[in-house]
Structure 1
Amino acid sequence: MIGKLFRKPEAVKPDGRVAVAALLVRVARTDGEYAAAEIAVIRDILMRRYGDPGLLAQGEALEQSAGDTVHLTKAIKDEIAHEDRMVYLQDLWRVVLADEARDFEEDGFMRLASNLLGMADRDSARARQAVQAEAG
């Protein structure tokens, strides 16, 4: 009984789709700007992937309330198989590259996110290269 009084409350695990949206928003906000080009790319990714126009607002709300990136990536890892995570890294890079300006905060975030998603730095580099090749 006394042990229950001093335990931390269990954090509510976010829905994997909302966690994906929140992670996309977080990478967009990493450089201190949340540019219209980044928002448009996020909206496109979420519509293409899930067909739910409400996910962007839910992701923005979760991104602001989620204390750390670990919480978000854990929800994603719980719902997305390891072999399917490369496409999510590509989506993160699409957001980073959307405003045509890449800085060290975004690079650092991508290293962290890649690691937390169980992916290697070389996977992130391949994902970035694939997105850059798409853009031509």
Structure 2
Amino acid sequence: MLARLQRFLDRIESGGGSATAPRDELATAAAALLAKAAALDGGVDHRERAIVAERLVERFGVPRDEIDQVMAEAAQTAEHAVDLYGFTRILKDRLDHEGRLMLMETLWEVVYADGTLHDYEAQLMRRLAGLLFVGDKDSGVARKRALAKLGLDDAGSSD
């Protein structure tokens, strides 16, 4: 697993092509962004962890018996990454528009899991929307869907 993680980081740092990246690199890139979003407010609580785990299983095909290992690797990868471009490039190139919207919705779910949008989380979401080529309107729609899933009132959330 560590060797696979190192190859993934090497390919990102070298700017290597992602069009032929194996499926697990797609899940790894998504997991890294989700881990970054979860940890940005100072820690990862059980709600954030549950959302990340469930979405990695249902939307990115991560086997349930590997989820703890994948999430641990993703947290380590996100912590050591100096930028987001390598992850977003893989996702932008391999996901269609609907897939990128689904990812944005999942990211919104993670940052709102604690009921509050922190300034750093809002900034991250704006950056990710741009890097994933998701427009402001579409990101807003994804945000509203995430808030509805979480049972949060849109008017009560802070930006």
1:28 counterpart = 2:32: no
Q: How does 1:8-87 map to 2 (within 5 A)?
A: 10-11=14-15, 15-49=25-59, 50-52=61-63, 53=67, 54-87=69-102
Whole-angstrom CA distance in 2 between matches of 1:65 and 1:30: 13
Instruction: Find the residue that maps to 1:118 and give its secondary structure.
Output: coil
- Is 2:137 the partner of 1:117? no
Work out the CA distance in 2 between the residues paired with 1:135 and 1:64.
26
The runs of 4+ residues in structure 1 deviating greater than 6 Å are none
Question: Which of 107, 116, 121 in structure 2 is aligned with 1:92?
Answer: 107
Instruction: Describe the SS at the equivalent of 2:112.
Output: helix
Does the aligned pair in 2 maintain the 1:28–1:96 contact within 8 Å? yes
**2-side partners of 1:75 and 1:20: how far apart?**
9
Residue of structure 2 equivalent to 1:126: 141
C-alpha contact (below 8 Å) 2:15/2:86 kept by paired residues: no
The structure having more radius of gyration, on CA atoms, is: 1
Helix, strand or coil: the match of 1:98? coil
Distance (Å, rounded) in 1 between the aligned partners of 2:135 and 2:37:
18
Q: Partners in 1 of 2:148 and 2:142 — Cα distance? A: 10
Contact 2:105 2:146 in 1 (8 A): yes
Name the counterpart of 1:5.
none
Cα RMSD of the aligned pairs, angstroms, is 1.9
Task: Quote the Cα distance in structure 2 between the aligned partners of 1:84 and 1:101.
Answer: 25
Q: Give unmatched runs, 5+ long, in structure 1.
A: 1-8
The C-alpha deviation readout for 1:27-56, integer Å capped at 9, x for no partner, is 111222222221121111112221422421
TM-score, normalization: structure 1?
A: 0.84
